[in-house]
Amino acid sequence: MVSGKDRKTMEQNRKKKHKKLSRAGRIITDLILVAALGVAGYSGYKLYEGLSTYSQSKNVYDEIRETAVKKPETVKQEDSSQQETQEDVYVIDHAALSAINSDYVGWIRMKNSYIDYPMVQGTDNSFYLDHLYTKEYNYVGSVFIDCNNSRDFSDRNTVIYAHNVKNGTMFMEIAKFEDPSYYADHDVIEIETQECNYKLYPVAGILTNGSDNYVAYNFASDEEFMNYVSYFTGNSTFTSNVVLEPTDQTVLLSTCSYSLEDGRYALLCRLVRE
């Protein structure tokens, strides 16, 4: 039989245990709350960092375009009262671009897209992955030619890289060739250097991964070159009306793809000097 004194002691112990449990519960709840706030704060910081990075890169490239690219103005034709815009006439100030960055090679542009950038070539293929044209650190990076290529597009195949940035900039629209219908309105890409102008005509585009050896510069024979071309045309995501001849030169535009892990999208184009 439990005495009144023992019953009182048991009740006091029960209350103490309840207080300890309540205190422990509050501590756990507080820790969970702190952790949640930390995750939310970190996520908010990363979001801000991403937006800030995009904003910086956009401002830099917009300023470069304003400084070095003269877009066509509306001109009045002598035999007409109507005004027409010569959309295809752009004047690139190569000297101004070289003054900003001595690694400057030329300008690349694709109609009906955001691709409208200066191109560079560094001493390696790493620096411009996370540096803007102005050489400021920014993971949006630059459009750059493979360091193993000649600057004058004299190689059999010249390789050009840029990121597939999720805000739609850089080479994001190269990855859009994964959609077979995209080619119809994007069948030519323009490159202008101080010495020469070029047209790139898309031949084939493949979805691949970082371990696939899809990059090549020169070939031992025309046959080897055509085997390389056949690999692309046989695996292309779209159908082109451009046919490559054994003596042709090409440009390969390479970017990231989010369609598979460590994905790449590589667009092979026929190079034509104007």
pLDDT digits (tens, 9 = 90+) for 144-160: 999 999 999 999 999 99
Q: Structure tokens of 122?
A: 């560094």
27 pLDDT band (50/70/90 cuts)?
low
Residue with tokens 């990059």, as numbered in its chain: 215
Average pLDDT of the segment spanning 238-252:
97
**The predicted structure's pLDDT at residue 8:** 57
User: Structural domains in the chain?
Assistant: 103-273 (2.40.260.10)
What are the distances in angstroms from CA 114 to CA 63, 77, 139, 183? 15, 29, 18, 15
Question: Is pLDDT above 70 for 83?
Answer: no
Residue of 176, 197, 195 lying closest to 186 (CA atoms): 176
Residue of 81, 69, 78 lying closest to 107 (CA atoms): 69
- Range from 84-88, 178-182, 258-262 carrying the lowest mean pLDDT: 84-88
Amino acid at 63: E
Backbone phi, psi, residue 229, to 5°: -60, -40
**The predicted structure's pLDDT at residue 3:** 55
Question: Is pLDDT above 80 for 244?
Answer: yes
Instruction: Say which residue, 6 or 153, is predicted with more confidence.
Output: 153
Average pLDDT of the segment spanning 34-52:
43
User: How do residues 172-185 score in pLDDT, each as one tens digit?
Assistant: 999 999 999 999 99
**The predicted structure's pLDDT at residue 52:** 80
Per the rule left: phi > 0, alpha: psi between -120 and 50, beta: everything else, 256 is beta
Question: Is pLDDT above 80 for 112?
Answer: yes
* SS3 of residue 204 by DSSP: strand
* SS3 of residue 154 by DSSP: coil
What is the CA 13 to chain-centroid distance, rounded? 66
**The predicted structure's pLDDT at residue 224:** 98
Kindly state the percentage of the chain with pLDDT values over 70.
75
**The predicted structure's pLDDT at residue 236:** 98
**The predicted structure's pLDDT at residue 124:** 98
Question: Is pLDDT above 60 for 164?
Answer: yes
Instruction: Say which residue, 69 or 24, is predicted with more confidence.
Output: 69
- pTM exceeds 0.95 for this model: no
Instruction: Say which residue, 72 or 265, is predicted with more confidence.
Output: 265
Averaged confidence pLDDT in the chain? 85
- Rounded to whole angstroms, the Cα distance separating 257 from 164 reads 7
Per the rule left: phi > 0, alpha: psi between -120 and 50, beta: everything else, 141 is left
User: How do residues 197-220 score in pLDDT, each as one tens digit?
Assistant: 999 999 999 999 877 789 999 999
Residue of 167, 170, 173 lying closest to 51 (CA atoms): 167
- Rounded to whole angstroms, the Cα distance separating 93 from 112 reads 22
